[in-house]
Amino acid sequence: MDVYEVLEKTVTGLGYELVDVERSPRGRVLRVFIDRQQKPGGVDIDDCVLVSNQLSRVLAVENVDYDRLEVSSPGLDRPLRRESDFVRFAGSVISLRLHLALNGRRNFSGVLQGVLSGKVIVQTDGGELQFDLANIEKARLVPRFETPKSGDRLV
């Protein structure tokens, strides 16, 4: 069983979603990003500790070689990988990079409309575009921060 399968099985068995896994260039640091859709506000430190403790035990049993395990939330700029991610975050602003250029461009951003027949639909400044899910190299949410209006004062 490969490392990703071990992580996926363990994390989902605990009731979390495995969002992403990163390994340092030499494989010494293993970073695991988790989420919990049903939990308002996302995962917290207690969730990360629980998953980290369980993964440490499982990885020792599976004889996975690493020096440091890091478990955290995916953050505000969460990566979108699966079709279900693009469905779940419809209405959000995203940025994406394609493997193969479309009309001479590889980078796009806009409001995610959803997925239809394996194509991710994004409303950009230039209109609605459709991207093959298989052609998306990287996609992330773009965080939105509300700024106070000129008449509002911070107290």
Within this chain, domains 3-72 and 83-141 share the same CATH topology: no
- Contact (CB, 8 A) for 90 and 113: yes
Topology, domain 83-141: SH3 type barrels. (2.30.30)
| Integer Cα distance of 42 and 46 in angstroms | 11
Write down the architecture of domain 3-72 according to CATH: 2-Layer Sandwich (3.30)
Q: How many residues does the chain have?
A: 155
pTM of the model: 0.80
pLDDT tens sequence across 18-37: 999 999 888 799 999 999 98
Domain residue spans of the chain:
3-72, 83-141
Where helices occur in 1-155 by DSSP H, the ranges are 3-13, 45-61, 83-88
pLDDT tens sequence across 135-155: 999 999 999 887 766 666 655
